[in-house]
Structure 1
């Protein structure tokens, strides 16, 4: 279809049937696991699938839950506007994989947790646990609203269905199959929805390349529009997306999402073994990086398609989040059912995240609120209560979706919100896992100060944004009648190709490098550094307060609650930091494979266990008190 056309196609009967079919399949999978088989009658079945899940479906579920319609709609739009630099966020996959498989999964899996926030009860106290739970729950509910809104916007843009009806349809379908099907229903619908999302990306890439004239033509048009910068090593922290902002700032957000977020970690805990959980983590993180690249490629193909008639400048659409829906209609709108299929992919991407979020919030409610306060509650009754709570979360998410409709672009808003939450929460987990000296007073103070700083800076960025310049968007291929109100900066870029249009406003200065900013102010830093900044503040304040108020003796902290890295790192520390009564163990490894560890970290009798078949008669242990 001609991208210069100003009239968007609307859904036909076949398109609606394709959309309804995808929604029906997702619902059927969830209802099957809720009605057949074990019917999710215990909390272990409902939240963890009796810890019987294999690594491959769990990995696909992790990907589907992480990506959502925010990636399906937001990431291609980001590449369309600014170029392909965002793909560099996938470079942090190796770092993320190492951190979560060597630190968080071993601790959470060996403790046999259902809610990861139970860790804070064991490591600190209930006050820390409930503070982090409250913070994370608020983020989870807001996130539900955004991901419900995203595909509803897509359907509204291409089919003309009212936004409220779209939000209600998507939210109610998801609420139904998630509250009934439990974690097994969520994981297997995620597998289906991931397949639908990837199918949508590949159809758009292939069909777009064919329409434009091949891969070479796509790259040529992208180069002409200054959208071929794939690596950006500028160290200016004000530039929104560079190698450093995406790898440093992005790493903290991805580590939080995959290692300290109930929504994702709950899937690791459903695996049949710790080994399978680690396999699922590596596969899931790798697939996340791959999908981010595919989404960016889709955005570049979309730019080539609209290279000479930008729909934002001509006001065919009003938000960049509507680019993908419009692209779908213009690209395959003349093929019956194809628009419905591709828009349903956006629904599938969102359904996976909403269902995962609802199940995670229900697990938090059961394990962190109900069980601690009603210790004698029957497990079957608790399962029924949590199913109703899961449904309530879905309904509340629908309400928040209407609020999300007044926010800015989806990707930026979500990453900004994620940055506010991920930094402080990751900071608290880091203090607990890596720093045995940290105390409850320290981590609570660090969480509070880090959160306030993150929220304050995020609000400041929104209210006092630094001027950010974009590569050109052209309309030289549009007819004069297609152009209405034109953005001043975009119009300046267009003047280079449309000199006959006398009404264009010309700003005095407009650099051509994507994401570059001019001038300095307190809020000039890239929004991706919010997470790192909040994490760093939480860490520094938490450790400072811990030492000022009386740091823990490391030997009083259960080794099961510390990262395996700690044991390796401990030998490099001075005796004063390792503990007041630390022992220097000189074990002759050539004579026996002796492994010494404390049987009970809080045992005042200071006993040790020798993990070989027979305790050696004499072991050269030199005490240094």
Structure 2
């Protein structure tokens, strides 16, 4: 720990403990409220009776994890406020998710998004999608649990494995007890804690540094207000184009087709409410982004002449925010604990969302198709049991993540490498009517192979520092350590600290170009390769042999229905995009939907709004 900063007090531990207790209490409440979790649908989708606002806040919290709380300010500190261009990318992501993917998933009434893959293609494609999602989510969740625990342990002395186990156990407890309702309402509470934690840092820093104007002035003089970098070079870590194109593809793979997010908005009581939850969520994303960027500029203003990283006061960039908190909030007992609660709120919301989504996929894609005679009560118990299992697996993955290095980049890289091909697969099904199962399978494998190639290559052979173009950081103001020779910029520090990196090897053109691709383009690459190869192979194999029902595709009615919802006297069953109103049982494709999506209670999810 660097000299001159504070340390954790009993008040800070009390604030953190209160976060865990309140989250557990919410789970306990929803275990019994409204009759408890009587069916698997109550557990996994809340009976599809949820409102837009709590779902919107849950959507915001689900992937605004501690990776965001600790990682984004550090990225802004090192690479500048160009990160704020993500505000535009988030807008594009929400529009694409709400207008392209949501209409199809909602009208089919699926619980697992991978049910769609069987209806559109076949069981093999569904199983491939399910397996990739499970692997992706367990890997990501392990990193989300471990990364903040490591950063906070090394700066504050916060017990590392105590925090890891406490996080995993509390998430598993309230997921298992209260199902998706508990997950959503704890997310609402936790997103409030996240904003409060950010606000405490920004307000105090404004006082210490002489106001927001002074902070922005320092950022301007240090070249941090670099919003308009239009360099088209895909090897540069952050430019306008890498963020707009790469960021949009990466986050659409999360909001458009990832089970954790889709499961939330299809739990809304109507399709209009589901769309509203996505658009309201956009405001939450913008608020968190603004807070993160401001904290990054605060970091630069505070440490512009004495960078704690290059001065060896912290060992990794993701420790900069905890270091700042103990520096400027040391005279205010409890506020450092509030920031730790802020970071862990992000972790809790992400982990709980992941556990609930994994349970949904396990029940819908692996258990139900093989054990069709199980009662709803049995399925509810199985859902709770799988929640416990996946909670334990995620804690175990956190132990494995401790062997990795550049955790924050690794987290988003996982979404790029696996989420990109999955986004391509769903896009192929929804947007390309003639795509067949052979094209889908070959396209998915090709997209996955290419994105895995570049992603693993980037971990083994990290890009040269000059490729990532970090901005200059100084240490001339560190009087306690300055010896006249330790002035050093980030361009002299190898970017990746992964335990798997291979250094001291002769660089090849493949390493300096292909493996140096901006990590934001991993998802773009996987998506486009999957779609392109899928289209080519589908055409070469004769396309679909029979016409596909329009319910599995994006249609003109999906856009027209946006205007219909504003008609005051419209009844839910007048929604012409709903399967119950477009051919019913006379349509063989609809019979297929009903057959595959039947609830064991005798009702069909295909006819429920």
User: Do they superpose with TM above 0.5?
Assistant: yes
Distance 1:427 1:279 in 2: 25
Structure 1 residue 125: Cα displacement: 0.8
The residue number in structure 1 matching 2:535 is: 543
1:360-402, Cα deviation, whole Å (9 max, x unpaired) = 0000001000000000011111111111111111111111112
- Unaligned 5+ runs, structure 1: 494-516, 570-593, 604-625
**How large is the Cα RMSD of the aligned pairs?**
2.6
The residue number in structure 1 matching 2:253 is: 256
Distance 1:491 1:121 in 2: 49
Q: Are 1:96 and 1:255, in contact at CA under 8 Å, matched by a contact in 2?
A: yes
The residue number in structure 2 matching 1:18 is: 15
Distance 2:491 2:452 in 1: 35
1:501-530, Cα deviation, whole Å (9 max, x unpaired) = xxxxxxxxxxxxxxxx9x953323212111
- Unaligned 5+ runs, structure 2: 494-508, 561-575, 590-609
Instruction: Pick closer, same or farther for the CA change 1:48–1:298 going to 2, 3 Å.
Output: same
Pairwise mapping of residues 17-36 of structure 1 onto structure 2 (< 5 A)? 17-36=14-33
Distance 1:151 1:523 in 2: 27
Distance 1:601 1:50 in 2: 27
Q: In the alignment, is residue 418 of structure 1 matched against residue 409 of structure 2? A: no
Which secondary structure state, in structure 2, belongs to the residue aligned with residue 232 of structure 1? coil
Pairwise mapping of residues 2-13 of structure 1 onto structure 2 (< 5 A)? 6-13=3-10
Q: Are 1:208 and 1:302, in contact at CA under 8 Å, matched by a contact in 2?
A: no
The residue number in structure 1 matching 2:73 is: 76
1:133-191, Cα deviation, whole Å (9 max, x unpaired) = 00111001111101111331243134313322221111111111111110000000000
Bigger shift: residues 480-489 or 380-389: 480-489
Pairwise mapping of residues 127-276 of structure 1 onto structure 2 (< 5 A)? 127-276=124-273
Q: Are 1:444 and 1:542, in contact at CA under 8 Å, matched by a contact in 2?
A: yes
Bigger shift: residues 141-150 or 131-140: 141-150
Q: Are 1:96 and 1:285, in contact at CA under 8 Å, matched by a contact in 2?
A: no
Structure 1 residue 436: Cα displacement: 1.2
Instruction: Pick closer, same or farther for the CA change 1:482–1:11 going to 2, 3 Å.
Output: farther
1:509-555, Cα deviation, whole Å (9 max, x unpaired) = xxxxxxxx9x95332321211111111111111111111112015x6
Q: In the alignment, is residue 477 of structure 1 matched against residue 477 of structure 2? A: yes
Q: Are 2:75 and 2:296, in contact at CA under 8 Å, matched by a contact in 1?
A: yes
Q: In the alignment, is residue 561 of structure 1 matched against residue 552 of structure 2? A: yes
Select the structure of larger CA radius of gyration: 1
Q: Are 2:475 and 2:482, in contact at CA under 8 Å, matched by a contact in 1?
A: no
Distance 2:390 2:67 in 1: 20
Distance 1:206 1:370 in 2: 51
Q: Are 1:557 and 1:601, in contact at CA under 8 Å, matched by a contact in 2?
A: no
Q: Are 2:475 and 2:486, in contact at CA under 8 Å, matched by a contact in 1?
A: no
Q: Which residue, 41, 44, 66 being the options, matches 2:38? A: 41
Bigger shift: residues 290-299 or 117-126: 290-299
1:46-86, Cα deviation, whole Å (9 max, x unpaired) = 01111111100000000000211111111011001111111
Instruction: Pick closer, same or farther for the CA change 1:8–1:96 going to 2, 3 Å.
Output: same
Q: In the alignment, is residue 322 of structure 1 matched against residue 333 of structure 2? A: no
Distance 2:388 2:529 in 1: 37
Distance 2:66 2:446 in 1: 32
Q: Are 1:321 and 1:409, in contact at CA under 8 Å, matched by a contact in 2?
A: no
Pairwise mapping of residues 189-588 of structure 1 onto structure 2 (< 5 A)? 189-467=186-464, 468-481=468-481, 489-490=489-490, 520-552=512-544, 556-565=547-556
Structure 1 residue 566: Cα displacement: 9.3
Bigger shift: residues 388-397 or 182-191: 388-397
Q: Are 1:559 and 1:601, in contact at CA under 8 Å, matched by a contact in 2?
A: no
Distance 1:171 1:158 in 2: 21
Distance 1:454 1:49 in 2: 35
1:195-218, Cα deviation, whole Å (9 max, x unpaired) = 000111111111112111111211
Instruction: Pick closer, same or farther for the CA change 1:104–1:179 going to 2, 3 Å.
Output: same
Structure 1 residue 93: Cα displacement: 2.9
Structure 1 residue 464: Cα displacement: 2.4
Structure 1 residue 124: Cα displacement: 0.9
Bigger shift: residues 538-547 or 353-362: 538-547
Q: Are 2:475 and 2:487, in contact at CA under 8 Å, matched by a contact in 1?
A: no
Structure 1 residue 5: Cα displacement: 5.9
Bigger shift: residues 58-67 or 230-239: 230-239
Structure 1 residue 237: Cα displacement: 1.5
Instruction: Pick closer, same or farther for the CA change 1:476–1:25 going to 2, 3 Å.
Output: same
Which secondary structure state, in structure 1, belongs to the residue aligned with residue 229 of structure 2? coil
Distance 1:441 1:288 in 2: 38
Distance 1:216 1:50 in 2: 49
Q: Are 1:145 and 1:399, in contact at CA under 8 Å, matched by a contact in 2?
A: yes
Q: Are 1:450 and 1:534, in contact at CA under 8 Å, matched by a contact in 2?
A: yes
Q: Are 2:112 and 2:263, in contact at CA under 8 Å, matched by a contact in 1?
A: yes
Pairwise mapping of residues 573-612 of structure 1 onto structure 2 (< 5 A)? none
Identify, as 1 or 2, the structure richer in helix. 2
Distance 2:307 2:91 in 1: 37
Q: Are 1:103 and 1:564, in contact at CA under 8 Å, matched by a contact in 2?
A: no
Q: Are 1:84 and 1:296, in contact at CA under 8 Å, matched by a contact in 2?
A: yes
Q: Number of residues paired by the alignment?
A: 552
Q: TM-score, normalised by structure 1?
A: 0.84
Distance 1:8 1:106 in 2: 52
Q: Are 1:33 and 1:185, in contact at CA under 8 Å, matched by a contact in 2?
A: yes
Structure 1 residue 408: Cα displacement: 3.3
The residue number in structure 2 matching 1:611 is: none
Distance 1:234 1:381 in 2: 57
